[in-house]
Chains A and B, each alone.
Chain A
Amino acid sequence: MNRNVVISFGLHTLLVIITAMSLPFLAKKPIDLPPIVSVELIQIADKTNIPFAPKAKKIIEKVKKKEKKLVSEQAPPKVVKKQKPDAIPLPDEKIEKIKKIKDEKQNPKKVETEVKQISEFEKKELFDSNNIAALIDKSKVESAETNKKLDKITQDQDKSIDSGGLSLSEEDALKAQIFGCWSIPLGLPYNENLLVRIRLQLKPDGSIIKTEIIDHARMNKPGQGFYKVLAESALRAVKLCQPLRVPSKGYEKWKELQLNFDAREMLEG
């Protein structure tokens, strides 16, 4: 008796610990919705914010050093040199000037002026973007630290989602694709279990290495002929959809994927 009580006590405490540890993770699943939105924002930020950040830092430092100097004066030459290695504007300008002096009533003039205009626009754009960036950066100086904190938080959330699976938008993209490929066999009985689960092994590009019907044994059971038809239709859908619209990142989390095909909703509809 005593031994049993001890075992029982030990196992119960273990269970409590397990639940205490795992429940928060489980509890996070339903709250997936809000963080998922922020994931998308972060992805955009990966492309846009990070390149800007070093610039911004430099500019901020310069602003700090030379308080009342205009940023626009310093910024344009740098950017033009960096982003336009062809250096079209400068030689062009020279040539144009020379040409302007030499030829005045010839056709190339128009083209040149056009070129001129374009280059001017480009310049303006570049100026503008930097101006804006600078202005934003000015306003961001104070909030920069808080932003960093926010970044940390969102990154943490990102990690937790990594273990959870696909984001909602990723899942939706995949679903929408397979919805279009799946021709539901209309002859299925209404009152039966119409769930087919298919395990997929995927390549990084979304093409399929292997498909496996999880309840394979049910295919050959008597009276379950419809299940075979259903399973085959699901396999056809997967093959027709190949390559699947999988996210470009996180291969590890979706290299094995389980699709649960359930025709009931459609047939009862």
Chain B
Amino acid sequence: MLFRYLFILLILLPIKAFAVVEVDITRGNLNPLPVAVSPLSIDKKSKNSFKEILKKNNIGAEISAIVENNLKQSGLFNPLNKDAFLQKPDIANLKPRFEDWNLIKAQALITGKVTFVDEKLRVEFRLWDVLAGKEMMALAFTTVPSNWRRVGHIITDKVYERLTGEKGYFDTRIIYVAEEGPKTKRIKKLAIMDQDGFNNKYLTLGNELVLTPRFSPTNQMVTYLSYFRNLPRVYLLDIETGLQEVVGDFPGMTFAPRFSPDGKKIIMSFAKDGNSDIYTMDLENRIVERITNHPSIDTSPSYSPDGKYITFNSDRSKYQQIYVMKSNGKDVKRISFGNGLYGTPVWSPRGDLIAFTKLHKGKFYIGVMRTDGSGERLLTENFYQEAPSWSPNGRVLIFYRETKTDSKGKGFSAKLWSIDLTGYNEKMVDTKTDASDPSWSSLLSN
């Protein structure tokens, strides 16, 4: 016993003498991290093979350009100008001269190599910490040559994850409604594209009006709203096969569909006699379940990522507000209490936030709040914008915005825009036609 007390005393006594000076660093900069993306090196033989297959002169440079563009678009990285690079790609991939890369202020360096092996595209790449002078990551993968754009996206995802600590969102696709023609005679088609706007493809012909497409968690299926004999119905579309079907046999209009996180159910609104409530339908056994039962308009349901809760909007308190309930419809709680109208709530894939559209004094806002309604933050304000959809990592929102095309307020244009959670880095996503109702897929590769 005595020894123990003495021991404690011994510990207590020298505290002062050994105190090291501590300095608290509570601030940093949010400037984009300077990154050097060295073009992927490629040998002559492979270069010629790819030239034949893909009609691209230097596939290594093309892939690194994708990486560079992705990093830049994220707003978190600042890819440095290639003209300043001192080391050649092939040598840099073996062993970078860190002093050279340090000189141009690069903090991270991406190098790599492309080869043509057994009719396939093989890429290996490395991420280097320039300041520490060490390799942070090295990966290699093979794929069919036509997948070369995805290779660039996958590299970006890996780099992004290694440097920011969260999963990337680059190897993803966006489904949206492509719009053409005047507002009174608008042709709307379902379209799908890579997250960076490439590989655009139309999924419907434009004979019927389509709205609000949403990906299934596996990205195989899309649920959306389409008009059939002037009646809006919820449809299901298999992207690979192109097969379409109506969801359920409802004697009225169904709208605002969304998949459950396990992909087994579709949740949507069903309107009858001027009253709409929220329903789910099991895709396996086609059993329909009524979730809300209230004389008000309940719509825009969205599951929490764990599937235990549902957020939706309702005008049961006279004005349209956001509510959260258990997935069985119990414990309905209002969470939005600010001025104005709230709609289109979407639960973040991270589970911590709910994104929404807000209408207040004639302006539309895209914002986020915590799942209990606290910490409301409005990210962007405009004349007309709505329908936010989360990137799979819950960091970026994509939505659409309508703008007047001439000064007289005639004519308008709808485009997709993205903004990250900080409220900065607002960017237009390039589409050939006008676009609305975007939905972000989950990561195609994991």
A binding-site residues for B, Cβ under 8 Å: 4, 7, 11, 14, 18, 22, 25, 163, 165-166, 171, 174-175, 178-191, 199, 225-226, 228-230, 232-237, 239-240, 253-254, 256-263, 265-266
CA distance A189 to B2 in the complex (A): 47
CA distance A188 to B9 in the complex (A): 41
Distance of B306 from chain A, by nearest CB (Å):
15
Chain A residues near B297: list those with CB within 8 A: none
**Pick from B16, B21, B26, B32: contact of A22, CB under 8 Å:** B16
Q: Are A182 and B21 in contact (CB under 8 A)?
A: no
Q: Do A185 and B163 form a contact, CB below 8 Å, given A18-B12, A190-B352?
A: yes
B window 1-53: CB within 8 A of A? 1-2, 5, 9, 12-13, 16, 19-33
Q: Which residues of B contact A186 (CB under 8 A)?
A: 30, 76, 164, 395, 422
Chain B residues bordering chain A, tally (CB within 8 A) = 38
Instruction: Say how far A131's CB is from chain B's closest CB, in angstroms.
Output: 45
Residues of chain A with a CB closer than 8 A to B31's CB? 183
Which residues from A are CB-within-8-Å of B9? 11, 14
Q: Quick one: given A183-B33, A184-B28, A191-B352, are A229 and B21 in contact (CB under 8 Å)? A: no
Minimum distance in angstroms from B20 CB to a CB of chain A: 5
B24 adjacent to A260 (CB under 8 Å): yes
Using known A-B contacts A240-B131, A266-B30, determine if residue A229 contacts B163 with beta carbons closer than 8 Å. yes
Of chain B, the residue at the smallest CB distance from A262 is B26
Task: With CB as the reference atom, state the residue of chain B lying closest to A235.
Answer: B132
| Pairs A-B, 4 closest by C-beta atoms | A187-B164, A182-B28, A187-B166, A229-B165
Chain A residues closer than 8 Å to B403, beta-carbon distance = none
**In the complex with contacts A18-B12, A187-B395, A239-B132, A265-B164 CB distance below 8 A:** no
- Shortest distance from the beta carbon of B73 to any chain A beta carbon, whole Å: 14
Q: B129 within 8 Å of A by Cβ?
A: yes
Neighbouring B residues of A180 by C-beta, 8 Å: 29
Bound complex: CA A180 to CA B132 (Å)? 18
Shortest CB-to-CB span from A226 to chain B, Å, is: 4
Tell me, yes or no, whether B162 is within 8 Å of chain A by CB: yes
Q: Are A263 and B395 closer than 8 Å at their CB atoms? A: no
Q: Considering the chains assembled together, what is the distance between the CA atoms of A235 and B23 in angstroms?
A: 15
Q: Is the CB of A18 within 8 A of B30?
A: no
A182 CB to nearest B CB, Å: 3
Q: Residue B107 at the A interface, CB < 8 A?
A: yes
Q: Which residues of A contact B16 (CB under 8 A)?
A: 22, 25, 163
**Measured CA separation A254–B19 after assembly (Å):** 11
The reply on B87 being an interface residue by CB < 8 A is no
> Is there an interface contact between A11 and B5, defined as CB atoms closer than 8 Å?
yes
